[in-house]
Amino acid sequence: MSNQDDILLSVEDLSVAFRTDHGSANVVQGVSFKIRRGEIMGLVGESGSGKSVTALVVMGLLPQAIAKVSSGRVLFDGKDLTRMPERDMRKLRGPRIGMIFQEPLTALNPVFTVGSQIIAGILAHEPVSKQEAHARAVQLLQRVGIPEPARRMDAYPFQLSGGMRQRAMIAMAIACSPDLLIADEPTTALDVTIQAQILDLLREIRDEMGISILFITHDLAIISELCDSVAVFYAGEMQERGSVRQVFAAPHHPYTSGLLSCIPDVARGERLKAIEGHPPARLSDVPGCRFAPRCPNAIDLCSQVHPSIERLPDGAETRCFRWKEIQTCN
C-alpha cells in the first residue's frame, strides 16, 4: 500500500450532469480513483463512458453552460479543484497540470507557429526572457524527437505530419514541468509505428521527470503496454480498478472480461467476438447494475439493486455482486 503522501490526484465520488432539452443526463456517476506520484494510470472504456469528461473536470475545463459537478471532489495535492476559482486554475494549468489532446490539429492554433505557441506558454507561467523561452522551446522540440527543431519552430501546425504535431503538443504540455500530465487518446489518429514511438516517449518522460500520467484510451493493448494501473469505465461509472497485472490476468467484472475477449488471437484463427446489446441511455433511470442487460452472468439481484464498489482481498476494486463467480470462470 502506498503512503498517503504519495497520492497526487484523488477523485472522490465524482458525479457530473449535463443539461439537455430532455432533462439532466448523468454522464459520470460516483467515480473514485487515486493516482500516485510517478504513476501512469489508464482510463479505458468505450466512447461515451465518461473518461474524457472526468479529465475535463480535473483540468477545470468542463463547459459550465451545459454541465456541472453534481457531487464529489477532485483533490490535487490536497486542494479541491472542483471548488477552485478560475483564476487559480489558470495558475495550475501548465505549471502543475498539462494536457495532450486527441487531435493536435484542432488543439493547436492554426495561425501561429508551433514555436511561438510553446514560447507563449512558457512566458505565461515563468519569469524568463523571450530569448530564454525560445531556447527552451527548441530544446523541448528536440527532446520530443522533432528533427531540425530550430527550423521547425517557424512551422505552422498544418505544415507538420500528424506524428510531429502530437510531439509538438507533448512539448507544450511538459514545457513547465508539470506534476500531472493528462493524455486524452493522443495516439488514436496515428499509425501503429508512430503510435509506438509516442508511447515510448511518454514512458521516457515519466521516467526522466517523475511526473504522473492519466492516459485515456479505448485500446486495451496500449493500457497493457504503458500503464501501471487501470480503471475500467462503462456508462459513466467505474466498474473495475486495479493494477494492470491484476485486471488483465484475472478481471473481476464481466464487462472487463468481455472487453478482453473481444481481442481475437489471430495466430489461432479466432473470430472477432462482440459484447451483445448497447449501453443504457443516460436519461434513463437504471435501478440495478448498468451492465446487467448485457451481462451473461446476471441474476435477478443485478437488475434490482445497484452495486457499489467493493474492495477485494488483492487490493483491486469491482462493481459486481458476482465477482467471485467471474473470477472462477477466468
pLDDT digits (tens, 9 = 90+) for 181-239: 999 998 887 888 999 999 999 999 999 999 999 999 999 989 999 999 999 999 999 99
Residue 283, pLDDT > 70, answer no
Residue 63 C-alpha cell reads as 463547459
Residue 117, pLDDT > 50, answer yes
Residue 328, pLDDT > 80, answer no
Domain borders along the chain are: 7-96+178-325, 105-177
161-167: long-range contacts, CB 8 A cutoff, minimum separation 24: 162/104, 162/105, 162/189, 162/190, 162/194, 163/190, 163/194, 163/197, 163/198, 165/104, 165/105, 165/108, 166/100, 166/104, 166/190, 166/194, 166/198, 167/141, 167/198, 167/201
Sheet with 180-184, strands from edge to edge, namely 97-100, 180-184, 212-217, 40-44, 229-234, 237-243, 317-318, 310-311
179 within 8 A of 147, measured Cβ to Cβ: no
Residue 278, pLDDT > 80, answer yes
Strands 237-243 and 317-318, by their bridges, are antiparallel
Amino acid 267: pLDDT: 67
| Averaged pLDDT score across all residues of the chain | 91
Out of 30-34, 242-246, 281-285, pick the least confident. Answer: 281-285
3-class SS of residue 318: strand
The whole-angstrom separation of Cα 243 and Cα 249 is 10
Q: Taking residues 157-176, what's their average pLDDT? A: 94
- CB count in 10 Å sphere of residue 273: 12
Q: Using a pLDDT cut of 70, give the percent of the chain over it.
A: 95
Q: Taking residues 268-275, what's their average pLDDT? A: 75
Q: Looking at domain 7-96+178-325, which CATH architecture does it have?
A: 3-Layer(aba) Sandwich (3.40)
Residue 38 C-alpha cell reads as 510517478
- For the entire predicted model, the pTM comes to 0.92
Residue 316 C-alpha cell reads as 483491486
- CB count in 10 Å sphere of residue 324: 11
Amino acid 1: pLDDT: 43
**Confidence band, pLDDT 50/70/90 cuts, at residue 274:** confident
**Confidence band, pLDDT 50/70/90 cuts, at residue 105:** confident
Amino acid 38: pLDDT: 96
69 within 8 A of 243, measured Cβ to Cβ: no
